[in-house]
């Protein structure tokens, strides 16, 4: 099947046609619109970061293949200027400073890491010449973060859903917590997590931390296991969490393990954790496979999954759907605003844009007041409960 055939099938399944971008009678040559993409292409975050960057690239190729963006009386071919933050906050800040050094309005997507995003946020928060569509980073944003729009689940949703899920399991009274200390979103939510566990009648018997990209978790797990937990909540990126689950089982723990990491099969395989995944659950924004198997936005999800795999030769990643939908949110806002450089005008559209106005969104985004995609710059989603069966993750329920 050719790439263009795949795209046409995707367009139909996603509920939009190439005609959306067809400009009859437009003879003038298209201009180029450069959009920056800040990604964790190397370093500990690369497993998720590369898959996120791939989805951004796929969105750009689909837009350009369908005719580009119509902005006022001009049409634009979209071009990406991608920067690697190397999964390091300092490298992310350097990349942002370089973008700003050009002296032009900055339209940016990407930003996987909470640590990276939290580091550059003070630089851009109040700027009138900068927009960042953050498709990763589980930090919670508000309208005070003027430059940031977050079409991605915030860690606050994970906190509440995790406690709700664990509370619903029989016999859970004692809980241990392990947290990636470089993941700003999870660290930010730790006090609230402990508070909610307490309100739900559960005792937090141990609280440990690890560093992003860690390979050994023995000391932390041993400390938690001394408290005889009924459940362990591990919060971090999928590759780290898979290794931690494997080591918890190696230490003899057989109880419930709950994460909110978007673990994918590759993480489990690389950690040699297949046998360790029994009695483990992951609460996450649904991946494409979850939506297909769970029959929720299944046609859109399958079309995306097929197009992604055809182009990149592998399954999409934990934030790929957010990246694809997030890029289209920015594209639709630019078109509706009728400008590529009036940042306040684009922001005004983003404040009011509805989920229905961006049919390319695939994740089950929960519309806010008036059907809007954002409430104070933050989007909200239904979450899926996933478990590992026969070498893969399967959805066992959704939490709206």
pLDDT band, very low/low/confident/very high, at 3 (cuts 50, 70, 90): very low
User: What are the sequence ranges of the domains in the chain?
Assistant: 3-153+291-381, 155-284
User: What local confidence, expressed as pLDDT, does residue 29 receive?
Assistant: 63
Which three-class secondary structure state does DSSP give residue 130? strand
* pTM of the complete model beyond 0.75: yes
pLDDT band, very low/low/confident/very high, at 15 (cuts 50, 70, 90): very low
In angstroms, rounded to a whole number, what is the distance separating the alpha carbons of residues 43 and 51? 14
The position carrying tokens 């979209």 is: 78
Superfamily name with CATH number, domain 155-284: Response regulator (3.40.50.2300)
Question: What topology is assigned to 3-153+291-381 in CATH?
Answer: Rossmann fold (3.40.50)
User: Is the pLDDT assigned to residue 72 strictly greater than 50?
Assistant: yes
C-beta of residue 18 within 8 angstroms of C-beta of residue 63: no
Six token digits for residue 117? 């995003």
Note the maximum CA span of the chain: 73
Q: Find, among 45, 33, 23, 15, the residue nearest to 237 by Cα.
A: 45
Q: Residues 101-110: what's their mean pLDDT?
A: 97
User: What local confidence, expressed as pLDDT, does residue 108 receive?
Assistant: 98
Q: Residues 216-227: what's their mean pLDDT?
A: 98
Asked if domains 3-153+291-381 and 155-284 share a fold, the reply is yes
């Amino acid at each position: 099947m050719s790439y263009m055939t795949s795209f046409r099938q995707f367009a139909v399944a996603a509920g939009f046609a190439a005609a959306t971008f067809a400009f009859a009678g437009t003879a003038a040559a298209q201009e180029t619109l450069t959009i920056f993409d800040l990604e964790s292409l190397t370093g500990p975050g690369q497993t998720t970061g590369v898959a996120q960057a791939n989805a951004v690239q796929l969105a750009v190729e689909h837009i350009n293949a369908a005719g580009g963006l119509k902005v006022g009386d001009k049409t634009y071919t979209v071009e990406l200027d991608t920067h690697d933050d190397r999964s390091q906050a300092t490298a992310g800040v350097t990349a942002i400073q370089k973008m700003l050094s050009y002296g032009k309005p900055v339209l940016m997507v990407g930003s996987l890491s909470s640590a990276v995003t939290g580091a550059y946020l003070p630089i851009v928060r109040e700027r009138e010449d900068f927009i960042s569509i953050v498709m990763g980073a589980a930090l919670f944003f508000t309208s005070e973060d003027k430059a940031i729009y977050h079409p991605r689940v915030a860690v606050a949703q994970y906190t509440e859903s995790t406690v709700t899920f664990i509370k619903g399991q029989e016999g859970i009274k004692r809980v241990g917590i392990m947290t990636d200390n470089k993941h700003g979103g999870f660290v930010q939510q730790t006090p609230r997590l402990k508070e909610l566990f307490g309100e739900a009648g559960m005792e937090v018997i141990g609280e440990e931390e690890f560093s992003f990209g860690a390979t050994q978790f023995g000391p932390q797990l041993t400390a938690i296991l001394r408290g005889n937990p009924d459940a362990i909540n591990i919060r971090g990126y999928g590759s780290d969490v898979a290794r931690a689950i494997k080591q918890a089982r190696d230490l003899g723990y057989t109880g419930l393990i709950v994460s909110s990491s978007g673990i994918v099969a590759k993480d489990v395989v690389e950690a040699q954790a297949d046998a360790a995944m029994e009695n483990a659950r992951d609460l996450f924004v649904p991946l494409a496979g979850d939506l297909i198997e769970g029959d929720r936005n299944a046609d859109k999800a399958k079309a995306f999954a097929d197009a992604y795999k055809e182009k990149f030769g592998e399954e999409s990643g934990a934030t790929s759907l957010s990246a694809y939908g997030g890029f289209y949110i920015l594209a639709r806002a630019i078109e509706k605003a009728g400008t590529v450089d009036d940042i306040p005008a684009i922001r005004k559209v983003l404040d009011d844009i509805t989920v229905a106005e961006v049919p390319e969104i695939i994740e089950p985004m929960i519309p806010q007041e008036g059907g809007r995609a954002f409430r104070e710059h933050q989007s909200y989603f239904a979450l899926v409960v996933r478990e590992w069966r026969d070498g893969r993750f399967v959805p066992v329920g959704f939490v709206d």
